[in-house]
Structure 1
């Protein structure tokens, strides 16, 4: 019988760091949130951004939530397919629109129908809703 455990022939019942590292681990897949939203950056002019911020302030909302609300309302309307093309200019001044997956799918379908990018599609809808909201309901 050896007093030094290093020379004993019995196996250690407790796993060591070396034996733990040797066991292959399968990485767990992270769950995807069901309410995950897609963020779309929409370029707007300075005048449009001021209008969005002003109207959002009147409703005690942020510019992002107000822009999102406008696009969501437009997706509910029946005359959305008949929107005319508007000139698109990338101004490097953006407003964010955060849409749920089903609304984003609707935008993608519209973008395919109109043969434009998703960003241009949301821009067209947002400009239409701003013109409709500024001229009609809010002022």
Structure 2
């Protein structure tokens, strides 16, 4: 994927779950991204940071990873949590953040699709950010 971005994940989160080693991981869940703070522009060779906010459904959900899917110059991004066994409480309107970094290596139109969940028909929905990546300014 030399024609795409080099993506790096930097985690900056405050967890709502206990990191107790007594809890056993019983599963994983892709959770809804609720908002994205994104740069206004992207430039070749310059690092850009997307601040991704995601929903934490229970006190047993803990950040696990960011998943990336690539097709040409389109990237689909989702957040996956682990689910730990224990005395879980449902949470309402609790979110955490993770920073996703991208450094474009060529010019062109790039699309970032951040997974927000599924609609009533079961189709995935996204927050979409599009960029016409310009060459690095000279000088």
Q: Which has the higher helix share?
A: 1
Interval of TM-score (by shorter of Structure 1 and Structure 2) = under 0.3
The TM-score, its normalising length taken from structure 1, stands at: 0.26
Q: Which has the larger radius of gyration?
A: 1
The TM-score, its normalising length taken from structure 2, stands at: 0.26
